[in-house]
Amino acid sequence: MENFDLGVSGSEQKIFGGRTPIWRHIDNDGIEAIGGNLKVVSDFSAEYAGKIILAGAPVNLTDRVITILPTYEVTDNYAATVATVIKVNAYGLTIVPKVGGVIMVAPATVGTTGTAIAITAVALVSNKYELTVGAAAFGSGVAVAAGAILVGATAAGSAASIATIPTGLVRREVKIATVADVANVASVYCGDIYIDRIQAIPACVKAVLPQIHFTKG
């Protein structure tokens, strides 16, 4: 069974078991030799304490800092000229959408810019997050079909970029203690993962992780 880590103050961690396995195979040298501490924007406790960083979440590891890329699968068609709310699957999210969070439709490549919008309201209804974004939120006449994937963006506006370019996927779940002020996360860049057991991964992210094979469970 898949294990997960308990992130606590300092470098201490504890290993637990019992979760559904999400990795089919990890190459012996497919794990980054040195993990990274979760990136803190303002306050670690407010951002992470008591939460779980899910295995398979896309992350960027740079200079021993782990930055998570939020991703959300759209569940209902969003009509650009009519809808003001876009609905996403609430299951299995590492980063839960919140007011002020900035999202965009996953671009064709990680280097492609697009229109991003800040979320103004969030409601959890029947296992879906309803995100208030307004009409024509992703560009004039741009509709978003069910099954599309939204990603975190750098800033709201018409020339937004993906929030961070992943270098790997989280190896194991990390449960962060309520007393924690730092948590270390391991990243995998080479292996085989069950794509239907993790959060939505857009094609542009798969393209920059060529050594990870995405398998249906």
Structure tokens at 116: 């991003």
CATH classification of the domain holding 205: 2.40.300
Tokens 């094979």, located at residue: 213
Q: Does the structure show a pLDDT above 80 at 201?
A: yes
Higher pLDDT, 82 or 163: 163
Task: Give the model's pLDDT for residue 10.
Answer: 41
Q: Indicate the residue among 116, 141, 160 that finishes a domain.
A: 160
Task: Give the model's pLDDT for residue 17.
Answer: 41
Residues 75 and 137 in one domain: yes
Residues 139 and 89 in one domain: yes
Confidence band for 29, pLDDT divided at 50, 70 and 90: confident
Residues 147 and 131 in one domain: yes
Residues 40 and 77 in one domain: no
The secondary structure of 34-80 as a DSSP string is S-EEEP-SS-HHHHHTT-EE-TT-EEEEETTEEEE--EEEB-S-B-T
Residues 77 and 151 in one domain: yes
- pLDDT mean over 95-110: 97
CATH classification of the domain holding 156: 2.40.30
Task: Give the model's pLDDT for residue 217.
Answer: 78
Q: How high does pLDDT run on average in the chain?
A: 90
Task: Give the model's pLDDT for residue 7.
Answer: 44
Q: Does the structure show a pLDDT above 50 at 12?
A: no
Residues 96 and 154 in one domain: yes
- Model pLDDT for residues 135-191, shown as the tens digit of each residue: 999 998 899 999 999 999 999 999 999 999 999 999 999 999 999 999 999 999 999
Candidates 199, 201, 203, 172; CA nearest to 188 is 172
Higher pLDDT, 27 or 132: 132
- pLDDT mean over 186-207: 97
Residues 76 and 139 in one domain: yes
**Range of the structural domain that residue 76 is part of:** 71-160
H helix runs in the chain, sequence order: 44-48, 203-207
Residues 53 and 79 in one domain: no
Residues 152 and 192 in one domain: no
**How long, in residues, is the chain?**
217
Residues 137 and 177 in one domain: no
Residues 96 and 64 in one domain: no
Residues 9 and 53 in one domain: yes
Task: Give the model's pLDDT for residue 19.
Answer: 61
- Number of domain units in the chain: 2
Q: Indicate the residue among 145, 160, 175 that finishes a domain.
A: 160
DSSP state of 174: E
